[in-house]
Amino acid sequence: MKADLGLYEYLPWNARPSIKWPNGAKVAFWVAPNIEYYEIDPPVNPLRTPWGKPTPDVVPYSERDHGNRVGHWRMMDVMDRYNLRGSISLSVALLDHHPEIIEACKERNWEFFSHGIYNTRYSYAMTEVQEQAIITDSIDNVQKHTGQRIAGYLAPALTHTERTMDLLAKNGILYTCDLFIDDQPFPVNVKEGRFISIPYSLEMNDIIVYNGSMVPPRRYADMLKANFDRLRADGAKNGTVMCIPLHAYAVGQGHRLAAFEDALKYITGHDDVWVATGREIAEYYYEHYYDEYVQAIKDFKKKHPARI
């Protein structure tokens, strides 16, 4: 094990180039629904136990199934009302299990990226060949079912190996959602090619807010608005990214929908917001800022060398 995988360089907020989003927007705003399949009786993994109780662990399993049977359709309906296209963090096996959801997202031109095969299959301790197999499976099956080449990756259940980022870059993936280092896109160090992190958010992630921090729905709406307000204010100087990561099984519950809608209405009610998908943000950054940032990182390092 290592103290740090060296995936990124230090470039503090007040010493970096300024990002301008299209049409002078201060914030790039993207919504990332996780559309997941959790298996009722997954194989044993030496490093993580999928369910807290002996299987069938009825409550959390059926909680997640609610997202696909019920919650997804409510969440999508609210997003339609505010013209928001989702960037889907997809359990790739869901292409097979629940094609109706995939069709509905395709009709809306939502972006698909990979979140592993199932959210009950973890990457820890995999060999390179095994981890490559998951990436290949993701690229091939999303392409086959949706016609899209995946641009992004969020590791299944946020489980990684030391070489995850290298493999993603090698496979032509454009961005990772797994690093929570910044409010802007950022170059990621990989063995070959270019690769970036774009801001996803654990702090604004519905399942973490609801089931981890145990926040009531109307306060979640307040948190989302506060997050937006500050990113928009800071974005006047240097464009920021706001992401709302979602799970239909959390946000799509009846008692939580109104609060979600309230937040979306507020955010999209501003005209200096660039509503985008993960791929659109990543591509814009590669085209306009990647090189400038790489140079800024080099310059900063020279001026402020680390002493380790």
Partner 1 sequence: MARPPIEQKEVSGATIPDSYLEYEHRSFGMDHDRYDWSLLTRRKPVKWPNGARVALWVNVAFEFFPLDTPAKPFKALGGMVTSYPDLRHFSLRDYGNRVGVFRVMDALDAAGISKVTGAFNSNVARRYPYLVDQVNGRGWEIMANGVDMAKLHYTGLDADQEKAQVKESLSTLREMSGQPVKGWLSPGRSESWDTPDYIAAEGVEYFCDWINDDMPYPFRTKSGEIVAMPHQHWIDDSMVWLHYKHKEQDFVDQVVDQFDLMYDESGREGGRIMAITIHPWMSGQPHRIKYLEEALNYIGKHADVWNATGYEIMQEWKKQQ
69-85 core/surface letters (b: 16 or more CB in 10 A; e: else): eebbebbbebbeebebb
Of 112 and 118, which has the nearer Cβ to partner 1?
118
Of 207 and 224, which has the nearer Cβ to partner 1?
207
Contact at 8 Å (CB) between 68 and 145? no
Q: Which two tokens stand for residue 300?
A: 């900063």
Per CB under 8 A, residues contacting partner 1 are 1, 37, 39-41, 43, 45-60, 62-63, 65-66, 69-70, 73-74, 93, 96-100, 117-118, 121, 124-127, 130, 133-134, 207, 211-212, 214, 216-218, 253-259
In angstroms, the Cα distances linking 237 to 11, 273, 285, 289 are 16, 14, 16, 15
Any idea which residue has 């097979």 for tokens? 96
Least distance from partner 1 to the Cβ atom of residue 118, Å: 7
Of 261 and 280, which has the nearer Cβ to partner 1?
261
Least distance from partner 1 to the Cβ atom of residue 233, Å: 29
Q: How many CB atoms lie within 10 A of CB 235?
A: 25
Q: Which two tokens stand for residue 8?
A: 């990124």
Least distance from partner 1 to the Cβ atom of residue 93, Å: 5
Of 232 and 256, which has the nearer Cβ to partner 1?
256
Residues 6 or more apart from 66 whose CB is under 8 A from it?
A: 249, 252, 253
Least distance from partner 1 to the Cβ atom of residue 91, Å: 10
**Helix (H, G, I), strand (E, B), or coil: what is residue 153?**
strand
Of 156 and 278, which has the nearer Cβ to partner 1?
156
Least distance from partner 1 to the Cβ atom of residue 170, Å: 19
CA atoms within 13 A on the CB side of 77: 10
**Helix (H, G, I), strand (E, B), or coil: what is residue 87?**
strand
Least distance from partner 1 to the Cβ atom of residue 151, Å: 23
Of 109 and 136, which has the nearer Cβ to partner 1?
136
